[in-house]
Amino acid sequence: MTTTPEPPTAGPAAPDAVTSARAASGAVQPTTAPVPSAGTPVRDLPRSRVFSGIQPSGLPHVGNYLGALANYIAMQESHDAIYCIVDYHALTSTHDGELIRRNTHEMALGLLALGLDPERAILFRQSDRPEHTELTWLLSSVVPVTWIERTPSFKEKRRYQPEDINHALLTYPVLQAADIAIYHARYVPVGKDQAAHLELAREIVRAWNARYGDYFIEAEAVFSDAPVVRGTDGVNKMSKSLGNVIDIFAEPDVIRRQVMSMVTDTQRILRTDPGRPEVCNVCQLHRFFSPLEYEAIWDGERTARTGCVDTKRLLADRIIETFAGARERRRELAERPGYVEEVLRAGAARLEPMARETIAVCHERMGLGPVER
Ligand code: TYM
């Protein structure tokens, strides 16, 4: 999947996601938490429950951050936020137990370093609340197989891991629907690549409500200003499994290497050729990391006043600078033995009553055995 290029707007865009990128990293402290949703600014949404999940793929990357994590952090201020590291989902493509364990720890550490505050939001590991899998089964009984066979992510996975089209892969979006429904979340901050999963989650709870009576909320996706962020190959979605990421927490020289390897405008062969900033991924990322200089960067590329190497160097500097504070915090947190595990367990424990209540209601409505509350 590719990113829709962002056209130049009147004047340099100063997307709110950047404000929070800087805020989370400690570089700039904003006075508000202003990351927008699609249409409605986050701050204008009524205070209610937010849920989102992220796969334990190790360290978060720039795509995760611009697509979703900036909103995770912003929404913990204004909503009752629950964030989950979805290790059950990871089983659909990773079969190395030690790797899942390590990556779950890394991802939790990364989220905490970026500013996720366990005093304000709940952070937990999906497999610590096995009710998610039970609800998946209960919901799956209202889901026609054709709905999930047509999910873009299932088709994508079929292409990327043709040797391993396991049954869990098919059920993946039902588990995602259960994650959201079990806590009756109203808003789900996600990147735009998750739009189809969110739509399916709404259809699934609608089907359940139609059969067993209104109970679950049809949750709404909350998108940031960012498009689906393209990877360093300039074509595909930035994704760990495609090896085309810019890591947030890598050492500065690694970030520099990743940025310098970015594919830019393939039609710009000579330094003197005018570029097409609207298709150049480097320029598009400057929109978020250099909002004040964005217009000048755009113009420099279009008129060939600047070369790709210059704009890449600047982007690497900006990304390193934006996350410098978070990188430092990650180092500090990593030195506290047991801290991450403590946060994850405490988060799961706080959610137990809510998860059990949902399962109890489902049992009642669906004619299953009584659940102790
Ligand atoms: P995952 O782990 O692939 O990604 C985590 C979050 O990062 C966003 N994201 C991106 N946004 C823009 N550009 C990109 N290149 C990019 N790559 C990742 C994703 O949109 C996501 O918000 N299926 C989900 C995890 C999940 C979930 C849930 C999400 C499981 N249960 C319940 C919400 C609610 C996933 O694989 O995200």
pLDDT at 297 over 90: yes
Structure tokens at 170: 């098919």
* CA dist., res. 90 & res. 169, Å (int): 10
Q: Of the residues 155, 192, 237, 312, which is catalytic?
A: 237
Please give the distance, rounded to the nearest whole angstrom, from the Cα atom of residue 309 to the centre of ligand 1.
31
Q: What is the rounded (10 degree) CA torsion for 323, 2, 95, 53?
A: 60
3-state SS assignment for residue 288: helix
Q: Which residues of the chain form CATH 1.10.240.10?
A: 1-14+231-335
Which residues have any ligand 1 atom within 6 Å of their CB?
51-55, 63-64, 67-68, 86, 89, 176, 179-180, 188, 190-191, 193-194, 197, 226, 228-229, 237-239
Which pLDDT does position 41 carry in this prediction? 52
**What's the gap in Å between 63 CA and the centre of ligand 1?**
9
Q: How many residues does the chain have?
A: 373
Using the predicted structure, report yes or no on whether residue 29 has a pLDDT greater than 60.
no
Whole-number pLDDT of residue 369: 97
Closest residue by Cα to atom 26, ligand 1, is 53
pLDDT at residue 339 above 90?
A: yes
- Please give the pLDDT value at position 47: 67
Confidence band, pLDDT 50/70/90 cuts, at residue 11: very low
Going by pLDDT thresholds of 50, 70 and 90, the confidence category of residue 258 is very high
Q: Is 50 helix (H, G, I), strand (E, B) or coil?
A: strand
Please, what CATH class does the domain formed by 1-14+231-335 belong to? mainly alpha
Least reliable range by pLDDT among 8-22, 140-154, 230-244, 334-348: 8-22
pLDDT higher than threshold 80 for residue 232: yes
> Which of 155, 192, 240, 312 does the annotation list as catalytic?
240
The answer on pLDDT for 1 being more than 50 is no
Average pLDDT over residues 186-214: 97
Task: Categorize the per-residue pLDDT at 301 as very low, low, confident or very high, splitting at 50, 70 and 90.
Answer: confident
Between helix 308-322 and helix 16-25 the angle, nearest 10°, is 60
Q: C-alpha angle with apex 58: 198 to 331, nearest 5 degrees?
A: 125
How confident is the model at residue 27, as a pLDDT? 31
Nearest CA-CA partner of 334 in 128, 118, 112, 119: 112
**What local confidence, expressed as pLDDT, does residue 269 receive?**
83
Nearest CA to ligand 1 atom 36: 55
312 labelled catalytic: no
Confidence bin at 20 (pLDDT 50/70/90): very low
Is-contact 103 90, C-beta < 8 A? Answer: yes
Per CATH, the homologous superfamily of domain 33-229+340-366 is HUPs (3.40.50.620)
Contact assessment for residue 281 and residue 262, using Cβ atoms and an 8 Å cutoff: yes
SS3 137: helix
Please name the residues in contact with 179: beta carbons below 8 A apart, sequence gap of 6 or more: 51, 53, 84, 86, 126, 132
Query: What's the pLDDT score for residue 268?
Result: 82
Q: Whose CA is nearest to atom 27 of ligand 1?
A: 53
Quick check: 94 pLDDT over 50? yes
Q: Which two tokens stand for residue 311?
A: 């704009």
Least confident of 21-25, 56-60, 99-103, 320-324: 21-25
What CA–CA distance (Å, rounded) separates 253 from 234?
Answer: 21
Range(s) of the chain covered by CATH 3.40.50.620: 33-229+340-366
- Predicted confidence at residue 151, as pLDDT, reads 92
Under the banding of pLDDT at 50, 70 and 90, the label for residue 272 is confident
Q: Which residue has the higher pLDDT, 156 or 9?
A: 156
Q: Is the pLDDT of residue 32 over 60?
A: no
Nearest ligand 1 atom to alpha carbon 238:
15
Q: For 135-180, how does the pLDDT look when each residue is reduced to its tens digit (9 = 90+)?
A: 999 999 999 999 999 998 899 888 888 999 999 999 999 999 999 9
pTM of the model: 0.89
Closest residue (by CA) to atom 14 of ligand 1? 63
Distance CA 219, CA 195 (A): 12
Contact yes or no for 203/147 (Cβ under 8 A): yes
- Per the prediction, the chain carries an average pLDDT of 88
For residue 194, the CA-to-ligand 1 centroid distance in Å is 6
Nearest atom within ligand 1 for CA of residue 237: 15
- Supply the pLDDT for residue 39: 41
Instruction: Identify the helix (H) or strand (E) that includes residue 83.
Output: strand 80-85
Look at 40-49, 100-109, 146-155, 244-253 and tell me which has the smallest mean pLDDT: 40-49
pLDDT of residue 19: 34
Give the phi and the psi of residue 220 in degrees, each rounded to 5. Answer: -105, 140
User: Does the active-site annotation cover 192?
Assistant: no
Query: What percentage of residues in the chain have a pLDDT greater than 70?
Result: 87
The closest residue, in CA terms, to atom 18 on ligand 1 is 64
pLDDT one-digit tens code per residue, 115-129: 999 999 999 999 999
Give me the mean pLDDT over the 191-195 stretch: 97
